[in-house]
Amino acid sequence: MDTVKANGITLAYRAWGPEGAPPVLLLHCRGADGADWAGIAERLATGERPYRVYAPDLRGHGRSDWPGAYAYEAMRDDMLGFLAALGVDRADVVGHSLGGAVACLLAQHAPGVVRRLVLEDVPAPIPLDPPRPPAPAPDTDPPFDWAMLRATDAQRNAPDPMWLDHMGRITMPTLLIGGGPTSVIPQEEVALLASVIPDARLVTLGGGHLVHEARPEEFLAALVPFLEAPAPPDVTSRTPS
């Protein structure tokens, strides 16, 4: 593992693959860390067309800082700073669940930074009805900041309406991968997200919420051809008003 300073905090990350290869950023789900992607990352880094793969621990997770502030926008800015600190101008971004929500905000805010976007079992940011109840405190210390769990629950219950309104700003090719009927995420919410991103397509692989873990071969069979398709033109980065 290594660390970088980004957006005022220290972010820990893992990296695979040759320097100079096309970069891929993998963003994990809530409660996990970058190691969750190890199996997929190793395959991407050693394939016929190898990638340089980065898997950071999001703030409040693993060995990254636990600053106590967990707005989705802060996580987005962490990733923008993370890529800049590594000298990566443009990358393919793959996000799972919470990591996918962060990836969406990154793609909205700085579309020139995201070459292609992949969202694994990510629901549309719509209010939960009924809202998710507060999670009971754990008996032992988890490998993440409990304040992060509470903060992200609150944002999942009542997301900023601008997150959904700005999905049209995601201008790069986007692939959504659904976990099917056994997922904890309602698949109609995944389909709704696909419908509001202009250049998006949805494939449902099954396996539940942890698609890349439960069905890695199917996941890679969908992911790799999408990443290897002809590169879309650069999109000028912009900051939403």
Please give the pLDDT value at position 117. Answer: 98
Hey, how many other C-beta atoms are within 10 angstroms of the C-beta on 150? 13
Contact (Cβ atoms closer than 8 angstroms) between residue 116 and residue 173? yes
pLDDT above 90: residue 238:
no
DSSP labels, 217-236: HHHHHHHHHHHHSPPPPP--
| Banded pLDDT at 137 (limits 50, 70, 90) | confident
Cα distance between residue 155 and residue 157, in whole Å: 5
What's the CA angle centered on 76, arms 13 and 24, to 5 degrees?
A: 50
CB distance 193 to 167 below 8 Å: yes
- Going by their DSSP bridges, the two strands 174-178 and 114-120 should be labelled as parallel
What average pLDDT does this structure show over 150-169? 97
pTM, two decimal places: 0.95
- Cα angle 38, 12, 19 (rounded to 5 degrees) comes to 65
Q: Identify whether 130 is preceded by a cis peptide bond (ω within 30 of 0).
A: yes
pLDDT for residue 235 is more than 70: no
Please determine, for residue 185, whether its predicted confidence score (pLDDT) is greater than 80: yes
CATH architecture of 2-228: 3-Layer(aba) Sandwich (3.40)
- Parse the chain into domains and list their residue ranges: 2-228
Q: Strand 2-6 relative to strand 9-16: parallel, antiparallel, unpaired?
A: antiparallel
pLDDT for 128 beyond 50: yes
With a pLDDT cut of 90, the percent of the chain lying above it is 91
Q: What is the pLDDT of residue 134?
A: 86
d(CA 235, CA 240) in angstroms, rounded, equals 14
Tell me the C-alpha distance between 184 and 153, whole Å. 15
Residue 210 has pLDDT above 60, yes or no: yes
Mean pLDDT of 186-193: 98
57-111 confidence digits (pLDDT tens): 999 999 999 999 999 999 999 999 999 999 999 999 999 999 999 999 999 999 9
